[in-house]
Chain A
């Protein structure tokens, strides 16, 4: 069903959730926070480009966008962890300069991150009042009054928790509530919640939402970051969509449909030309059948052919990298089979994977792909040293020949082979890792975010290398969060959501929107 011409919210299409039941304060027009023309530059990257964001008192304002769209940068600026390169922030109409997280706290801004910042061995009350404990004249902590105060805050949210147990014994949902209580005890008027429901059950989500409604009634304003469209439509009042560091638009939830939201998230001109040259598809080289790893991914099956680039798309946390690691033998699998070139294989270690000619270009080349202190030559031959040694001794001449050949073939820019890998640019480092796999004679590659953090020129070189590889009969699985890259270079696309494959698309049929829709479950 095509959703490109969907009608506004009022039509009863099954993809639209029930109208927002946020009720009360959504109509208040008092603006409590304004972020104006916020610009944030990092070396080589413009993370936020003239972002305008405003928050009304007592509203739940959703912040939506792809990975890397700029949401977390914006929040970090608001919470005082980063400073904007330029732009203004106004709180209640007054300009402020938020200098540090402590300062943000003092200004009434509280942030609840996904990784909770509680001390596991301390109780709820102790955590809430950490650093601000009330003491008796002798310096002893007045635990009782702390507990009473904490219980009061929680009951204001209609929540009951035993304030005396160490929080490590409490469930995630309750721990989250304690974080909320902590923020409230600091008189937060603005609460930022980053993916609060990712670890919660249905009933816990309902509890969270009712607590949020109570907060709204008290006049607390909430910035809510989430990918879950059902929730956005249930609890949100307004939504701002970020894309590539810019604000695409801000709309009231009741005035927009899911399909429109997705379109706002991904609709960009595909300016870059992707030089994909597709060779004829060859034999099946890899088959993965019903792969399962408890809590990580479930029932994953697909086939890969020589000459093919199979793109894997999905949001953070959907299980893509974990799947790659399991195929490569780094992590174990609970059930399912992997067959390489027709033969079932038990891949229990990276060495076993390398022996069946797999290669894994990891997400983070610095911490996982390279030994930065070693030289270019040493990194290139790291997986294939056996071929250049006899009786344990390395044949330096052969090794240098091999490394030199790859430096030339891949055009790796380095003054000499003995240069330490840490001194190369990102693009060249990535080429060194690729050379390592070529040297180990891999012909089935897994590329995890292959062009992340690399300049445009080198990106194109890498795409061209991918073409050369597939032309020679290699097969590539490419995991990427950059939708244009997925669409531009893949021959087929798998979309992962919530640790399962939800669909397989041929390159021609897919659009940014459709891929994103599957990734979000819209």
Chain B
């Protein structure tokens, strides 16, 4: 039996050795960045920005995420483990706006400054728990939803039917985007939302759910998806259905794949958020907080609608 366990331990050691060197640098201050997931190009870009800034500042950076975006409990465990590791500052993109609060509380108790990125934490829950965060770095999702809505209204000339693909229910991000969309659509009396369903931020679910929506509403004219992954899935469903009229698709995040789709004419527009900027600003301010400096409570990141013309003007994919 002892023999039987040497293999897995050897395996662990071999894989872990490269990571060894990092842990030797206990004295070097470490910033931890806990994301929702590393499977989404949006967060991969955010990570790039964060790592670049960390290198520039000469500070070490740990980036971790749970395997699945839905796994709030695992994200909490990661935060707890990083607290054990005595990191100097914590940046989090919460998977659950309320569920992450207990973890933030623990970080507070360990005197680790906490910065929230991209998705807001529920303020009420935060207050009830007596926890605090130093800053929010992100774009105004309501605004993003609004400009997407205004774009659609313009494209449809104020009249028509639209479908919506939502994110994971209860996520502040998705809720805000929808809110903004509705504000814009309310201005145009002739526009009706015929279907609004969740595809949980995922591409394959976007395909299936929109395919079903098309079955029920073959004449739908526009689609707003709360993120690009779902929009890209929906585009595949549209081409599979070979509908006779063009459906206007607007996504959110403006990742590379959707920029390509916009150039090809498959997607009409996407709301760009600049995740790289979010990542680097987060690290920059986390560093300041680490050193005890005051940082602003809100650091808004600009948001804009990316259309084909914008991309052609820039020459190629960004």
A and B touch in their complex, CB below 8 angstroms: no
